[in-house]
Amino acid sequence: MIRLAIVCPCYNEEAVIEKSAIRLRVLLDQMAHDGKITDDSFVLMVNDGSRDHTWDIIKQLHKTDTRYKGIDLAHNAGHQKAIMAGMMTAIKEADAVVTIDVDLQDDINAIAKMIDAYAEGYDVVYGVKVSRQADPALKRMTAVAFYKLQKALGVETVYNHADFRFMSRRVVEELARYGERNLYLRGIIPLIGFKSTTVDDAISEREAGESKYTLSKMLTLALNGITSFSVKPIYSILTTGLIFVLVSIGIGIYVIASLISGTAEHGWASLMLSIWFTGGIILFAIGIVGLYIGRIYIEVKQRPLYHIREELL
């Protein structure tokens, strides 16, 4: 049997956290009864700078049952950093961790299957979404498009996997060696290289509250995933530049031929169109390069990923 830590990042989740805590406690009791985990396995809730009563509820849960543990981050560090903070704290006492969002839209029954896979020799077990009907249509479409874009750009990830996963102690200890500030765990963990497998994860509706993962946060995560693991956008700029050079050579030949033949016409519209189009491409290219420079700027500062204000362990 292993001592398991279930790590749940929380941000303004007062509407759902108590219901989720009850479900997780029942799950721990059942798995302990089945001989999969030890009786002192626990749930670690990471309060990611919530502005509501999330931390107060976590403290109350800890008083009622010490298997509910918590850490309070000093500010809103972000979803990926909150998960990292939880894992680094939990692994000091646990043999393995499972990360899952506190809304429990992921299938918590898959956790037992993850532990079975660990017993078979797998150090990493990914929860892979087999159904996304509970997600809004826009989120489903953008998620699929993003996974395909990542694959096209050469980013190694697990298709239809978010952050619901099992990791053994040695994987988490190896993960701790990665000093990246622009965290994209879905890309980093496959790089570690330990034996891995997947289990099915059927997404369900939220029991209460609304998702805090806004469109802007998803876009930020997507940019982190692409710029942290692929330089293909830079190469695409180079390719586009070469194409424009070839096009300009062709236009130059056409202009010279038109002047020689006397058929050249001065066109304001075509001139303005070419200037605006070329200017737009240049600004777009500068923006992509700027993204990479910004990531480098953040990385070289080596600032801490998070600050823990209070612990309930």
Tell me what pLDDT residue 122 has. 97
Asked whether residue 181 is domain-assigned, the answer is yes
Q: Which residue has the tokens 């006397």?
A: 262
pLDDT band at 79 (very low <50, low <70, confident <90, very high): very high
Convert the pLDDT of each residue in 191-213 to its tens digit. Answer: 898 999 999 998 887 666 566 66
Question: Does residue 215 sit within a domain?
Answer: yes
Q: Give how many domains the chain has, as a whole number.
A: 1
Q: Which of 197, 191, 199 is nearest to 175 (CA)?
A: 191
Looking at residue 181, its pLDDT comes to: 82
Asked if residue 224 has pLDDT above 80, the reply is no
Specify the 3-state DSSP secondary structure of 28: helix
**Mean of the per-residue pLDDT values for the chain?**
85
Q: Would 68 be classed as within a structural domain?
A: yes
Pick from 119, 41, 39, 78: nearest CA to 212: 78
* Residue 251 belongs to a domain: no
Residue 238 to residues 4, 103, 226: CA-CA distances in angstroms?
49, 44, 17
* Inside any domain, residue 249: no
pLDDT for 209: 58
**What pLDDT was estimated at residue 96?**
98
Q: Are 156 and 187 in contact (CB under 8 A)?
A: yes
Q: What is the CATH number of the domain that holds 146?
A: 3.90.550.10
pLDDT of residue 48: 96
How high is the pLDDT of residue 231?
65
Give the residue-averaged pLDDT of 291-299: 79
272 has pLDDT over 60: no
- Does the residue 253 lie in any domain? no
Q: Is residue 42 situated within a structural domain? A: yes
* Residue 282 is assigned to a structural domain of this protein: no
The whole-number average pLDDT for the span 263-278 is 64
More confident residue, 276 or 8: 8
Residue 157 lies in domain? 4-230+303-312
